[in-house]
Amino acid sequence: MLASHAQKYGILIALIVACIFLTFANEYFLTGRNILNVLRQTSINGILAIGMTFVILTRGIDLSVGSIVALAGVVSASLATTSSAAMVAGGPYPVAIAFGAGLAVGMACGAVSGFVVARFNVPAFVATLGMLSAARGLTLIYAGGKPVPNLTDAYRWIGTADLAGIPMPVVAFAVIFLAATWVLTSTRFGRHVYAAGGNPHAAKVSGINVPRIRLLVYVISGGMAGFAGMMLAARTGSALTQAGIAYELDAIAAVVIGGTSLAGGIGRVTGTVIGALLIGVMNNGLDLMGVESYYQQVIKGGLIVAAVMLDQARHKQA
Amino acid sequence: MKTLLKTMVSISALMVAMPAAAQEPLKIGAAVYGLNAEFMQIWAEALENHPAVRDGIVTVTIFDGKYDALVQQEQFETMITQGYDGIIFVPIDIEAGAAAVQAASEAGIPVFGSNTRVNSDLLTAYVGSDDVQSGYMEAKYVLDKIGCTGNVVIIEGPIGQSAQIQRLEGNLKALAECPDVKVIEQRTANWSRAEAQTLMENWLTAHPGEIAGVIGQNDEMALGAIEAIKGAKFEVTDFAIAGIDGITDALLAVKAGDMASILQDGAAQAQGALDLAIAAKMPDYKPMSEIWTHYTDMPWNDGKDKAYNVPWTPVTAENVDALLALRN
């Protein structure tokens, strides 16, 4: 019971404690602009982590999101660049086409991983490890190893614009968070995701098409990664082939810190978002205080292991 | 089986006995630390477009080291086994490459360094650019622009890499000439634009209105800082910002008046090393790359020097269009 409470509220308490500490430690932490900074810096990892939550809820894992970030980034950017060396013939195309292409690329990568997992029972770790390598290679082939610069203003809007003072990446993060929460808590598909992860056999017996659910969660994760990749390109002004390296680790960390069980079936998007925010707050706070980034990695490592230890304690009780 | 073996032995004996035919092209291998970034792409393209390659005097094979010293070591072993005539080496790490150079040297294959140094006295020659100098040049630009007064931040490369160490040395040399300038933040962003952007966003928050200059040890990180400044709704022109390398995005930013960049001529580093590698095997060879006429400060000297220093080119509003034209 204690462990369960610690699991449910521990991460939120940790976030609040971190914020209180940083407020006293640095005069600029609790300013409007810095809070927007934290949210903006968290948005890309947050969106990846939300997609990852769907996958982990079904007992899977998606190691390929970082590579999909880069692939979707260069493909969509090549449709929205004004640089003649990097553009697809006839470009720049309207931003809707560029975004559509990036999203489609991400979802297609996810569909391939999902199909391999669902249809051939290849462990998710292996299937997405393959996609991690393949998508990175395709990125380099597609872009010839070079960045895709000079993106149109319309394309950069999603990364740089404000909506009533709130940066677009934060708006997108919030919308995706609300949508994902709704899907998981209030739709039949959401209930099937929990069922397929919690007890696949029982889910199958009760008539749920488990392979279809498993396929779709990778499509969702791939789509989120594609979207995040375009937002990253829009934010930095150029799609880079090295973008997103090791992003999967931070995304998995956010999900795990947020209390979603790697054993499947248990977890909430809210927890994931709090986990992502905790990582973001920590990075930002240590930057403000001038602490070397190497410490950030050590602290993050400790948090991940502590979160899983809590998860294990709960399993013993259940 | 025995006959087959015999035939193979006699064929190999014949091959050894025959003098290399004059028209047989030299086989040069290039082991580069990794091909994921634009700079090494430019380097590799220049190597493949060297006039001697086009004329069939030499064939080049480029090995992608995948940012791993061990992979590079293994590629050296492959080239030694296959009897390459020379190796051009761009190591991932200044120390880790020494063993590979030694192995090639013991096999009688000359190794030519390019772009990145390796801590070995067995290199036949090295063609590169002095990173201390570029670090000095970029910091000098920033300090001149802020009038040798105010606060600056330094965004560094991965701590311990030779370019980071040497560029920092140059940065500090220029800073020593401006004792009134204070370095209020100095951190690594690992050559990454996204990391530098986050770092700069946080610094702008922690030091509101206090940062006058940004010394980025490469262009990617300087560009990240520019995006952070724009994102925070400051005027980029209120900051003095400089980077190094002359990547395409940076040339565009120079053109827009947002930053200064110092071009590292990777193409010259590649072609120069190849000319040296050919000259080592063909004593009468005259260098075919046009870099030797372009850089009068870097004389060919019959290909006998141990080190060739490719000059840095500051990118300015005047030459940026010409440099951009070379990229397409």
Choose the weakest-confidence range: A8-12, A159-163, B111-115.
A8-12
DSSP A136-174: HHHHHHHHTT--B--B-HHHHHHHH-EETTEEHHHHHHH
A150 touches chain B (CB under 8 A): yes
Q: Are residues B210 and B277 in the same domain?
A: no
A180: three-class secondary structure by DSSP: helix
Residues A197-211, mean pLDDT to the nearest whole number: 94
CB A84 within 8 A of CB A152: no
Q: Are residues B209 and B61 in the same domain?
A: no
pLDDT at B256 over 90: yes
How far apart CA B166 and CA B129 sit, in angstroms, is 11
Q: Are residues B97 and B153 in the same domain?
A: no
CATH at B278: 3.40.50.2300
How far apart CA A67 and CA B98 sit, in angstroms, is 32
Closest CA to A149 of B27, B202, B324: B324
Q: Which of A23, A27, A236 is most worth mutating to test chain B (most B CB atoms within 10 A of its CB)?
A: A236
Q: What are the backbone dihedrals phi and psi of residue A314, each rounded to the nearest 5 degrees, phi first? A: -65, -40
E strand or H helix at A126, and its extent?
helix A124-143
pLDDT at B16 over 50: no
Residues B138-143, mean pLDDT to the nearest whole number: 97
Question: Measured between CB atoms, which of B35, B205, B328 is closest to A37?
Answer: B205
Residues from chain B that touch A37, judged by Cβ atoms under 8 A, are 201-202, 205
CB B216 within 8 A of CB B185: no
pLDDT at B31 over 50: yes
What integer pLDDT is reported at residue B8 of this predicted model? Answer: 52
Residues B225-229, mean pLDDT to the nearest whole number: 96
Question: Measured between CB atoms, which of A144, A150, A284 is closest to B202?
Answer: A284
A144 touches chain B (CB under 8 A): yes
Residues B271-298, mean pLDDT to the nearest whole number: 93
Q: Is residue B78 part of a domain?
A: yes
Q: Are residues B204 and B255 in the same domain?
A: yes
Instruction: Give the strand order in the sheet containing B181-188.
Output: B181-188, B150-156, B211-216, B240-245, B260-263, B313-315
What pairs with residue B314 in β-bridges?
Answer: B262
Q: How far is B76 from chain A (nearest CA, A)?
A: 23
Q: Are residues B284 and B234 in the same domain?
A: no
Helix-, strand-, coil-residue percentages of chain B, each rounded to 5: 45, 20, 35
Q: How many domains does chain B have?
A: 2
Q: Are residues B135 and B251 in the same domain?
A: yes
pLDDT at A58 over 60: yes
Q: Is residue B16 part of a domain?
A: no
Q: Are residues B258 and B300 in the same domain?
A: no
Q: Are residues B222 and B172 in the same domain?
A: yes
Residues from chain A that touch B201, judged by Cβ atoms under 8 A, are 37, 40-41
Residues B296-307, mean pLDDT to the nearest whole number: 92
DSSP state of B29: E
Strands B260-263 vs B313-315: parallel, antiparallel or unpaired: antiparallel
A82 touches chain B (CB under 8 A): no
Please give the residue that has the higher pLDDT: either A159 or A179: A179
Contact flag B197-A236 (C-beta cutoff 8 Å)? yes
Q: How far is A216 from chain B (nearest CA, A)?
A: 30
The torsion of the CA quartet A219, A224, A228, A229, rounded to 10 degrees, works out to 0
What domain range is B161 assigned to? Answer: 131-263
Residues B49-63, mean pLDDT to the nearest whole number: 94
A232 touches chain B (CB under 8 A): yes
Which B positions 204-223 lie with beta carbon below 8 A of chain A? 205-206, 208, 223
Across A7-16, A111-120, A307-316, the highest mean pLDDT is recorded for: A111-120
* Mean of the per-residue pLDDT values of chain A: 91
B224 touches chain A (CB under 8 A): yes
What integer pLDDT is reported at residue A11 of this predicted model? Answer: 83
pLDDT tens, B179-222? Answer: 999 999 999 998 889 999 999 999 999 999 999 999 999 999 99
